[in-house]
Amino acid sequence: MRTPIIIATLIAGTLDIISAFVFAGMAGMTPFGVLQFVASGPFGDLPRPGIGWALIGLLVHFAIMAVIATTYMLAAERRRALIQKPIRFGVAYGFGIWLVMYWIVRPLRWPALWLPAAYTDRSVGQIAWSVGNQLFSHCILVGIPIALVAARHYERRLRAR
């Protein structure tokens, strides 16, 4: 099962980080800034200039994605519906990832970034754009690819039996 986890991690992780670069770039943040922000999750908010911390951020990103992919693969091994309807469950999984990241992980690490607090000075349109970007990334670029890789892997295993 290691190979499909690696494939799902690389596909979803790459799509997600590119999405983060694009959407953060639209807000004026550089890819290095995005990666340094990711690195600050487990390593703190100290100023971290340079490519080293950006590379650590990239490793942290893919480590998180590996956990996300592994979780789905393990669940798909036990719940056949996850491989029979990968689009539906991929979107649902992506939504669940979004809920965990934006309503649990980020508020615990960065209380000022808790979703409602982060948007108090924004218009409804800005909030909708931001949340839409987040959901697009998590549901379409993370959840669906992971679910499709799982479906392909487990369908092959079922046929081989």
Answer yes or no: pTM beyond 0.85: yes
pLDDT at site 115: 67
pLDDT mean for each 10 residues of the chain (161 residues): 93 98 93 92 78 93 98 95 96 97 89 69 81 95 98 81 61
Model pLDDT, residue 23: 93
What gap in Å lies between CA 93 and CA 72, rounded to an integer? 8
DSSP state of 49: -
SS3 93: helix
pLDDT of residue 146: 98
The per-residue pLDDT for 55 is 94
The pLDDT assigned to 116 comes to 64
Count of structural domains, the chain: 1
Structure tokens at 95: 């939504």
Q: Which two tokens stand for residue 77?
A: 């091994």
Tokens of 153: 């892997």
Domain that holds residue 120: 2-160
pLDDT confidence of residue 126? 81
Cα gap 66→35, rounded to integer Å: 17
Q: Quote the pLDDT of residue 117.
A: 59
Q: What is the DSSP letter of 149?
A: H
